[in-house]
Structure 1
Amino acid sequence: MVASCIANLPSLSSSELPTSHRSAHEYHNFARPIVELPYTDWQFAAPDNSDLTDRLERGQVLCFPQLAFTLSEQEQALLGPELVGPKRKNISFNIDRDRINGVADPTNEAAVRALLKRYYQHTRNLVETLLPENRGKLLEPVNSLRVHEISQWQGKSSWRKDDIRLHVDAFPSRPIHGQRIIRVFHNINPHGTLRVWRVGEPFERLAERLLPRIKPYSSLSSSLQAALKITKSKRSHYDHLILGLHDAMKADTDYQANGQQWQLDFHPGTTWMAFSDQTPHAAMSGQYMLEQTFLLDVASQKNSELSPLRVLERLTGRALL
């Protein structure tokens, strides 16, 4: 039996269809917020007349249940919580700088670096093949190897860092000024353990409800935070709002329990990708995963009007950069 990414995907009732400018057809796509693709090899020809870019830019998750990233015996032997430094959550690798952080034993660094570099090459080819509009436009690649049980980190830090709560991704100390965050994940668990996610409602509907809760933007405060090195650069109005949405979602216990959401199960050997700044998501359980992050300028999108930046500008009635 071929593994599937789909766990429970309820259909929308007529009362749940949109009443604003969004069409019923557009919103109905979220009755199935995931698209399964049949590829079994990382080298394949781009599909003709594909609507995958449209689906991804509307917030759906692209899932490849049979696209396995194979680890060598040496790499599999490395897997274990002891691979990561005791004060680190994950191992991270900055590809452009060839800088790796978080490996507990320096003698393992070369093998981990080679693994993460290979994963980067595979995922970049995947994104640029499926989404040819983005070829040559993926920026600042950074990836990570996550070896801890998700539950191990729950409760060890603030609720803002609790990723079992539904959220959209935002970088508190690293303003990105409207750039998109696209991430490619892979479950490398050697013991058959699922990676279980929840995904939430469309971004615009979420933003409409939560924007009134976010405190006003202060250019002076943002400048001060940058001067004090609290942030790497000055937060734009957009960065303030997307971080505010991240926090408002995580702080809302009623939304976490009762908001519109679906469960997705990712078996070992499964690859999946999403715009994580747009698709509300939460990692509920699992251990051993690879993750690749790329940034993408809004202007490089096929339809930039679907980006969080343009959605928030439309809802607030003002430019945010």
Structure 2
Amino acid sequence: MSEQALSRDRVIRTLPLTHWNQPHHDSGALASLEQGNVLFLPHLSFTLMPEELKLLDPALVAPKRKNITFDPQHNRVRGLARQQYAQQVTDLLSRYYQHCLQLIDALLPEYRHAVHSPSNTLRLHPVSTWRSKSSWRKDDSRLHVDAFPSRPIHGERILRIFNNINPHGENREWRVGEPFPVLAQRFMPHLSGYSPLSSWFQQRIGMTKSLRSRYDHMMLQLHDAMKADRKYQEQGPQVTLSLPPGSSWICFADQTPHAAMSGQFMLEQTFLLPVSAMLNPQNSPLAVLEKLMQQPLL
């Protein structure tokens, strides 16, 4: 595993927050996030209530589902195998969503009125379990940037807030890769061209919820090219992060190359953010790819 040209200080910015609504006046945090770094909050824990500890059971996840998901806008849980726990899971994930809103208010107030389409997940399986059962394309222990196959986002950002809720002291181990502009330039020659006809057909038969833009196509191609390149996975620039129980971390998952190597029991909150709401839109994957390709992608 190579760590050339990367260091922990290059990819992670540690912040001292201990409460989800604690104001933190550090403009550098937002700039660092938009540059593709991970914001690490080692003392920002999310405490489960005693009766919620029984929810930390992989048997609660429906067969063939990776995680339990929650849509806070419609108060809807999916992927739950035991419906008798639906209300408790809903309450847990709703509370986590509210905590994440408080964190954005306190740490990233510039985004508060722009984030939208929230969803979150309760991740109960050990990383080793879903890694052994997944295809290479779905194996998130391989370095990748996030892209949605069925839900085109047309250049919007994927902002994610994670929390390790493991009750047994087990760290979440991550790998984090090189800056997005370097990554995109590295893989650009391996990405296939975009077909408007194919995009139309995929929407027509229900493979996608809307037309897949040239941008969405390129991001999916990048996601797959990274995961398929075994040499890059083993030797590409990367650093290892140990994320202990009781810690939180934030990144733009469409920009920060990442891979989950081990761990169990985690909460994850996702928001979409328009590029126009960024402090520096030129840091967005959309702007980087358009510059490299010398053409608009939307």
Q: 1:297 to 1:222 in 2, by over 3 A?
A: same
* Aligned residue among 24, 35, 40 for 1:46: 24
Report the equivalent of 1:35: 13
> CA offset at residue 224 of structure 1?
0.8
State whether residues 199 and 263 of structure 1, in contact with CA within 8 Å, keep that contact through their aligned partners in structure 2.
Answer: yes
Matched, 1:70 2:18: no
SS of the equivalent of 1:59 reads coil
Report the equivalent of 1:289: 266
- Between 1:250-259 and 1:94-103, the stretch displaced more is 94-103
CA distance in 2, matches of 1:167, 1:78: 29
1:248-267, Cα deviation, whole Å (9 max, x unpaired): 00000000000000000000
1:143-167, Cα deviation, whole Å (9 max, x unpaired): 0000001110113222110000000
* Aligned residue among 201, 222, 239 for 1:245: 222
* Aligned residue among 176, 185, 189 for 2:166: 189
**1:85-104 pair list within 5 angstroms:** 85-104=62-81
Q: 1:183 to 1:101 in 2, by over 3 A?
A: same
CA distance in 2, matches of 1:188, 1:31: 25
SS of the equivalent of 1:155 reads helix
Superposition RMSD in Å = 1.6
Report the equivalent of 2:112: 135
1:13-42, Cα deviation, whole Å (9 max, x unpaired): xxx5xxxxxxxxxxx887521011111111
Report the equivalent of 1:268: 245
1:228-264, Cα deviation, whole Å (9 max, x unpaired): 1111111000000011100000000000000000000
Q: Aligned partner of 1:128: which letter?
A: D
1:73-127, Cα deviation, whole Å (9 max, x unpaired): 0101221111212222110001111110112111101011000000001012112
Report the equivalent of 1:107: 84
CA distance in 1, matches of 2:148, 2:74: 20
> CA offset at residue 65 of structure 1?
0.5
Q: Quick one: percent identity of the two aligned structures?
A: 54
SS of the equivalent of 2:271 reads strand
Q: 1:204 to 1:30 in 2, by over 3 A?
A: farther
Q: Aligned partner of 1:140: which letter?
A: S
State whether residues 123 and 267 of structure 2, in contact with CA within 8 Å, keep that contact through their aligned partners in structure 1.
Answer: yes
**1:154-173 pair list within 5 angstroms:** 154-173=131-150
What is the TM-score of this pair, normalised by structure 1? 0.90
Report the equivalent of 2:126: 149
Q: 1:139 to 1:71 in 2, by over 3 A?
A: same
Q: Aligned partner of 1:185: which letter?
A: F
State whether residues 7 and 239 of structure 2, in contact with CA within 8 Å, keep that contact through their aligned partners in structure 1.
Answer: no
Q: Structure 1: where are the runs of 5+ without partners?
A: 1-7, 17-27
State whether residues 128 and 135 of structure 1, in contact with CA within 8 Å, keep that contact through their aligned partners in structure 2.
Answer: yes
Matched, 1:58 2:31: no
Matched, 1:81 2:55: no
CA distance in 1, matches of 2:186, 2:9: 20
SS of the equivalent of 2:44 reads coil
Q: Structure 2: where are the runs of 5+ without partners?
A: none
What is the TM-score of this pair, normalised by structure 2? 0.97
Q: Aligned partner of 1:54: which letter?
A: A
Q: Aligned partner of 2:33: which letter?
A: L
